[in-house]
Amino acid sequence: MGMQPVGAESLSHRLTTFPQWSHPSHLQRAVGDLYYPHWFAGTWDVQTQLMDMVAPLSPQIVTPGFESNRRYLNHPLEFRVRFLPPTPPSRNLTVPGILQFRNDHPTSPLVADRRFNSLNLTRAYFQFAPSSNQLVKDGELTIQIDPLNPNRQITFWGSGHQLISTVTARRTEQPDTHRFLTCELSQQEFRNLGQNYINQVETTTAYSYSGLSDVHQPVFTADQVTAIYLSPQDPQFFIARDRPVALYRYQLHFYSLPKEGVEASIAHGS
């Protein structure tokens, strides 16, 4: 069940073909937010780890930052995320791609707290890399979500650094109540003192729910691949065309917060 265009390969099959990707996934125009199943509800401690990275068109084309990203390979990063009902809540909302559950399962749609999640993930990366952390002092990292478009966010850091990210297309699949797959295509524009760099980022994620209640075991996990494509404005676009120029594979584990962690999160709104 889900939103799979006719003739498109499933997202689960696409993940099994990594890193043999030759084009972006077939997606649909992103309308509104991305909705998640009921088992995402709440606040989670996440451990993410970069497991593999490939530059398919190297040495002819290597994206800026690819080599420096090797520092993250096989090094887990920890941060906190949360998923909440949309604000304001929508009555009689029909959510495409989400299975309808029995009466003993909540059916209210959930969305990611994009600002909270992105801020925590970005801080985790900056804190891991001292050279990057020097660009950001307390209060210099901010993230804004477009109030009229949840798919557009702007990140500001350091002196004049901006990242404008806009989700333009997506697809979801839910084969059963314990699995949920998503794919989003975003346009990313990096701005730094008048210099701009634009690319396309495709993020494909397969979530698996275990239902474990032990705080030492993940409640759900995810296999994720991020693919970078050149934009038509890039001078090397006609060499790469629809082929990805960088691929990153991650494993994510989502853990329940201990009681004291939940209380602190509520008290501080974090």
With 0-12 CB in 10 A as exposed, 13-18 as middle and 19+ as buried, what is 261?
middle
pLDDT at residue number 31: 92
Distance CA 19, CA 248 (A): 9
Angle at the Cα of 266 from the Cα atoms of 184 and 156, rounded to 5 degrees? 45
Distance CA 227, CA 210 (A): 27
Total tally of structural domains belonging to the chain: 1
Q: Is residue 44 part of a domain?
A: yes
Q: Which two tokens stand for residue 260?
A: 């004291």
pLDDT at residue number 103: 30
Domain that holds residue 154: 28-268
Q: Is residue 15 part of a domain?
A: no
pLDDT at residue number 132: 52
pLDDT at residue number 182: 98
- The position carrying tokens 């839910």 is 174
Distance CA 28, CA 34 (A): 12
Cis? peptide before 19, omega within 30° of 0: yes
Question: For the whole model, what pTM was predicted?
Answer: 0.84
Q: Is residue 2 part of a domain?
A: no
Residues 75-111, buried b or exposed e (16+ Cβ, 10 A)? eebebbbbbeebeeeeeeeebebbbeeeeeeeeebbb
Which ranges of the chain have pLDDT less than 70? Answer: 1-7, 88-108, 130-139, 193, 259-270
Q: Is residue 19 part of a domain?
A: no
CA distances from 202 to 60, 99, 156, 226 (A): 21, 24, 22, 6
Assess contact for 232 and 41: CB atoms under 8 A. no
Q: Is residue 16 part of a domain?
A: no
Q: What is the pLDDT of residues 227-262, one digit of tens each?
A: 999 998 888 999 999 999 999 999 999 999 876 444
